[in-house]
Amino acid sequence: MAVYILKRFGLALLVALTVSFISFSLLFMAGDPAVAIAGENATSEDIALVNARYGFDRPMIVQYGDWLGSAVTGDLGRSWYFDMSVTELIADRLTVTMKLGLFAITLALAVAIPLGVAAAANPNSIIDRFALFLSVVGQAIPSFWFGLILIVIFSIKMRLLPASGNETWQHFVLPTVVLGYYATPAIMRLTRAGMMEVLSSDYIRTARAKGLRTRKVMFKHALRNAIIPVVSLAAVQMGFMLGGSIVVETVFALHGAGYLAWESIARNDLPTMQALILIFSTFYILFTFLADVLNAWLDPRLRVG
Amino acid sequence: MTLKNLMTGTALSLLAAAPAFADKADDTLRVAFTKELESVDTYYNSAREGILFTRGVWDALLFRDPISGEISGNLATEWTWIDDVTVEFKLREGVTFHNGEVFNADDVVHTVNFVTNPENGVKVMTNVSWMKSAEKVDDNTVRIILNAPFPPAEEYLASVVVMYPDEYYAEVGPTGMNTNPVGTGPYKVDKVEAGKLYELSLNENYHDSPKGKGKIGKIEVKTIPDMNTQVAELFNGGLDFLWNVPADQAEKLAEMDDRFDVVNAQAMRIGYITMDAQGAVDPDGPMTKKAVRQAIYHAIDRQAIVDALVKGSSEIVNAGCAPIQFGCDLTVKSYDYDPEKAKALLAEAGYPDGFEIDFYAYRDRPYAEALMGFLNAVGIKTNFNYLQYAALREKRTKDEVPISFQTWGSYSLPDVSAITGEFFTGGELDDAHDPEIIEWVKEAGSITDRARREELYSKAHAKIAEEAYWVPLWTYNVNYVLSKELDYTPTDDEVIRFADFAWK
């Protein structure tokens, strides 16, 4: 198990390094950072001055090496846009995005898994049809529209929840629903499919024949086996949520890392972008790793490295 | 974006009348920015949001009345031009900064000398680089020395060159000024959360300034990137004032005129098409031929685009400048919408079947598409390249852009040197490189004789029109939405003045 973990860790490091290099090169080629920093109203002289100050005229590999050298010592540099250290800039925004992501995936799992189990247990029933309908609708509705509709209903008409900001837990309710519903269909369908396959297998028939109660059959025996692909999917979805929460953060003005990432690309704020990509990819690798470990616990057959 | 707005329209129309919160009750004006402001320190940001902040929190030596254009003293009470490059100011006495520091000549000297030093990396250097230094004469008298005669000096001294407290700024620098801004302005800053939130409160000790004292106790500015969410907050009572609202949403809000006031005003920004007349992209290209450029001008029905898309108080312009800018001569030759004439001119130039060209733009995609539609109709096949501003600008300096749809806001400076001086003096964004025009515009930018300047700019604009180096399009407009409790009249320069807001 230790070798397994070590190998995984080494691989993760390599992935993170490759990702950071690729993103740096892409950002570098995407446009003149001096213009992005100096702003739209800047004249040619202003831009030349910015070029000189930030050292943009150095070769790309030199600039990358510079960044990497500082990053490994924990110094993620200063934002080219905001006058503050990247760590300071990212800190509280990342917390918002993490909170949102965690709430959203929890909601998605809390809704999708029971629904998938119920649908599989009663194929072609109303529950099953409803679950499938939900999955189609869930993937078809654009999240920004859904967010706005929720704002109209719950914030403006019913005055139950706030429309924007991130100060209290109430501010996270609508964004969680909007972000979470997107992950629900895939998880639900995978659960349903996995359960249906498992429920028709021999050992389940044996368990039923032994007289075990339905709930025990469903959850202790069937779900435990059906859930493995779902765990992996959930890890991937969690990764998406970290990176893909941009729309939700924009609509609800949450000031999260997703929105910051989006804007940093537009502003050519390289240090911030690099730091965020590094952090997102690290989390993504971490979640995948945790999913592997969880699966190995669920199914001992998977513990072979 | 249009589809998105359609959906929003559906959402909006589902609303029943809901009571608005009375922000008048807690004397707080709530405003939103769509853009995150990078730094509150006025010399370290280049966005319009920064301009708003600046006018509220800091003061300049002079003041320009937005309606009459007259210049009067703000932090200075008198000023005299000793010669073309030296101006002496008598400073107002009894003015204090928000932190208690007394305003005097030391502040002017420190501020000017700090910002003009290129090592300090002020963001929009051209706002200050025309000054050389400042010298103290006595505690309440100071001189500013220019590098060369600079006609719009007083405009700049009345707007972008604001005064910082020397002791505080020397101690904390731009980083400190960004976290804890201190000025002399009508509002002082209570709280700054970089990029997210600003809280201002009334400066009770504000001096007797032409800006006038603020009438609202507190101002809260939040960043809400999505305009639809801003509208939602407007309905909720979470916001009292929206600006830069897109035309179609403003129209819908205007229909709810029992709850909101929608005001439209012009901005100094203009739209225009620039073409590679000098042949840097392609020495034999169609853009180098005057007949082709004139054809393009004739091919576009500018009024139709303004009526259908830009709307509001926008008007078409026949020269590349905003009507309220000094030196803007709109009496030059104009080309009316005549697609047949356009085709004839193209044939004359050797393109009877039109030609293919790469067309670039960085904003207002629907307008760009409309423009291209008109060109397509006369046989000019356009390949659309829609890029970010920074990317497009880089391509232009690399001489890869034969024709593009551009805009320029002139940083709200009411002098044509801020636009014609930027694009027709042989710089890297000058697509014409016309030696006569360069000479005229450069001269006009270096003398102070108003009559002579006007004459030179007229000549320049007349030739630009004759050669059709640009196709000047329209002025932009801005929609402001106010809650019924709010009293505010916007000006034609897209500068929002916090001191002018009041409750009804």
DSSP string, B299-357: H--HHHHIIIII-TT--B-SSSS-TTSBT--TTS------HHHHHHHHHHTT-TT-EEE
Q: Of residues B448 and B376, which shows the higher confidence score? A: B376
Give the B window 11-30 contacts with A, CB below 8 Å: 11-12, 14-16, 18
Confidence of residue A62 (pLDDT cuts 50, 70, 90): confident
Torsion over CA: B68, B69, B75, B77 (sign): negative
Q: What mean pLDDT do residues A206-231 have?
A: 84
- HSE at residue B348, side-chain half, CA atoms within 13 A, is 13
A1 part of a folded domain: no
- Distance (Å) from the alpha carbon of B139 to chain A's nearest alpha carbon: 33
Query: B194 in contact with A at a CB cutoff of 8 Å?
Result: yes
B124 and A84: CB-CB below 8 Å? no
> Residue B92 — very low, low, confident or very high, per pLDDT cuts 50/70/90?
very high
Q: To which H or E segment does residue B153 belong?
A: helix B153-157
B432's CB contacts (< 8 A; 6+ apart) are: B277, B278, B424, B464, B467, B469
Residue of A29, A41, A80, A146 to mutate for B, most B C-beta atoms under 10 A = A41
In the predicted model, is pLDDT for residue B252 greater than 70?
A: yes
Give me the mean pLDDT over the A82-107 stretch.
90
In a domain, A146, yes or no: yes
Asked if residue A47 is part of any domain, the answer here is: no
**Predicted confidence band of residue A155 (pLDDT cuts 50, 70, 90):** very high
> What pLDDT was estimated at residue A28?
75
Q: Does B390 touch chain A (CB under 8 A)?
A: yes
- Better-predicted residue by pLDDT, A148 or B121: A148
With 90 as the cut, is the pLDDT of residue B17 above it?
Answer: no
Among A15-29, A170-184, A229-243, name the most confident range. A170-184
The answer to whether the CB atoms of B124 and A164 lie below 8 A apart is no
pLDDT score of A34 more than 50: yes
* A37 assigned to some structural domain: no
Is the pLDDT at A32 greater than 60, yes or no?
yes
Task: Tell whether the model's pLDDT for residue B113 goes beyond 70.
Answer: yes
Q: A156–B18: do the CB atoms touch at under 8 Å?
A: yes
pLDDT of residue B12: 56
Using DSSP's 3-state secondary structure scheme, residue B114 falls into helix
Q: Which domain holds residue A165?
A: 93-268
User: Across all residues in chain B, what is the average pLDDT?
Assistant: 91
The partner residue sitting opposite A250, judged by closest CB among B14, B124, B226, is B226
Q: Does B256 touch chain A (CB under 8 A)?
A: no
CB of B126 within 8 Å of any CB in chain A?
Answer: yes
Residue in chain A nearest B13 by alpha carbon: A152
Confidence of residue A31 (pLDDT cuts 50, 70, 90): low
Q: What is the pLDDT of residue B473?
A: 97
| pLDDT beyond 90 at A104 | yes
How far apart are alpha carbons B364 and B458 in whole angstroms? 30
- Of the candidates A33, A36, A82, which has its C-beta nearest B39's C-beta? A82
* Record: contact A32-B121, CB cut-off 8 A: no
For chain A, give the percent of residues with pLDDT over 70. Answer: 96
* CA B339 distance to own-chain centroid: 33
From chain B, pick out residues whose CB is under 8 angstroms from the CB of A149: 11
Rounded to an integer, the average pLDDT of A184-199 is: 90
> What pLDDT shows up at residue B16?
40
Residue B38 distance to chain A (closest CA, Å)? 5
Rounded mean pLDDT of B61-76? 92
Residue A299 or residue A273, greater confidence: A273
Query: What is the mean predicted confidence (pLDDT) over A192-199?
Result: 89
pLDDT at B52: 85
Q: How much is the pLDDT for B286? A: 95
Whether B416 and B321 have beta carbons less than 8 Å apart is answered as yes
Categorize the per-residue pLDDT at A305 as very low, low, confident or very high, splitting at 50, 70 and 90.
Answer: low
Residues B95-111, mean pLDDT to the nearest whole number = 95
- The reply to whether residue B194 touches residue A89, judged by beta carbons under 8 angstroms, is yes
The pLDDT, as a whole number, for residue B128 is 92
| Cβ neighbours for A304, distance < 8 A, ≥ 6 positions apart | none
- CATH number of residue A128's parent domain: 1.10.3720.10
What SS3 state is found at A171?
helix
Residue A294 lies in a domain: no
Query: What's the confidence (pLDDT) of residue B18?
Result: 42
| Mean pLDDT for the stretch of residues A182-206 | 89
- Higher-confidence residue of B368 and A280: namely B368
Residues of A in contact with B118 (CB under 8 A): 49
* pLDDT beyond 70 at B77: yes
Counted domains in chain A: 1
pLDDT over 80 at A261, yes or no: yes
Residue, of B129 and A39, whose pLDDT is higher: B129
B130 touches A: beta carbon within 8 Å:
no
Chain B: closest CA distance from residue A159 (Å):
8
Identify all chain A residues contacting B423, using CB atoms and an 8 Å cutoff. Answer: none
How close B441 comes to chain A (CA, Å)?
16
With CA atoms as reference, the chain A residue closest to B193 would be A89
Of the ranges A18-27, A137-146, B432-441, the best mean pLDDT one: B432-441
As a whole number, mean pLDDT of residues A192-216 equals 86
Domains of chain B: 31-219+485-503 (3.40.190.10), 268-476 (3.10.105.10)
Helix (H) / strand (E) element for B101: namely none
* Cα–Cα distance measured from residue A288 to residue A238, given in angstroms and rounded to the nearest whole number: 9
Give the pLDDT confidence score for residue B4 in this predicted structure.
66
pLDDT above 60 for B411 = yes
Instruction: Give residue-wise pLDDT tens across range B309-343.
Output: 998 889 999 999 999 899 999 999 999 999 999 99
Quick check: is A79 in a domain?
no
Judge: B388–A266 Cβ closer than 8 Å, yes or no.
yes
Pick the most confident of B42-51, B292-301, B415-424: B292-301
Lowest mean pLDDT among A136-150, B74-88, B140-154, B351-365: A136-150
Quick check: B176 contacting A, CB < 8 Å?
A: no
Residue B9 has pLDDT above 80, yes or no: no
By the CB < 8 Å criterion, does B6 face chain A? no
The answer to whether residue B20 scores a pLDDT higher than 60 is no
The answer to the question of residue A205 being in a domain is yes
Q: What pLDDT shows up at residue B110?
A: 96
Q: How far is B246 from chain A (nearest CA, A)?
A: 16
Range scoring the smallest mean pLDDT among A218-227, B99-108, B215-224, B407-416: A218-227
DSSP class per residue in A149-166: HHIIIIIIIS--S-SS--
Residue A29 lies in a domain: no
Q: Is the CB of residue B417 less than 8 Å away from at least one CB of chain A? A: no
